[in-house]
């Protein structure tokens, strides 16, 4: 679980840097790489689910993928709202950073439940 918290923080920082980096080729390429590197938190819940699912590992894996698909759709919807509101394409990074910052709330709840 500590690894999940670290990767959520990484994602929040990398996504927060998207807006200031968006206008310059070098910095945006580095930031896009950093954002992609931050995608590894997907491995942590998948592994945890496989550990606790017992005989329902297939169902746990399917629910994990469904949750990520819902999150992807929600992120794109919020990006669209920000762009339509006139904040420009760089606002996608701010939306992503906001969502990544909200992630530690869920992570803390899961971590607390794990300790019980």
pLDDT tens sequence across 7-37: 878 888 888 888 888 888 899 899 888 888 8
| Domain region containing 52 | 2-115
Domain count, the chain: 1
The beta-strand segments (E) located in 6-100 are none
Q: How far apart are CA 115 and CA 105, in angstroms?
A: 16
- Is pTM beyond 0.75? Reply is no
The two tokens of residue 72 are 């992807």
User: Is residue 88 left, alpha or beta, with left meaning phi > 0 and alpha meaning psi from -120 to 50?
Assistant: left
What's the whole-number mean pLDDT along residues 105-114?
78
């Amino acid at each position: 679980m500590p690894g999940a918290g670290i990767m959520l923080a990484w994602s929040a920082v990398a996504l927060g840097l998207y807006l200031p980096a968006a206008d310059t080729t070098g910095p945006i390429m580095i930031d896009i790489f950093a954002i992609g590197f931050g995608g590894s938190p997907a491995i942590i819940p998948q592994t945890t689910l496989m550990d606790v699912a017992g005989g329902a590992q297939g169902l746990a894996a399917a629910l994990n993928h469904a949750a990520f698909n819902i999150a992807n759709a929600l992120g794109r919807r919020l990006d669209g709202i920000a762009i339509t509101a006139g904040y420009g394409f760089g606002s996608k990074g701010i939306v992503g950073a906001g969502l990544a910052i909200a992630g530690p709330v869920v992570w803390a709840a899961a971590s607390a439940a794990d300790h019980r």
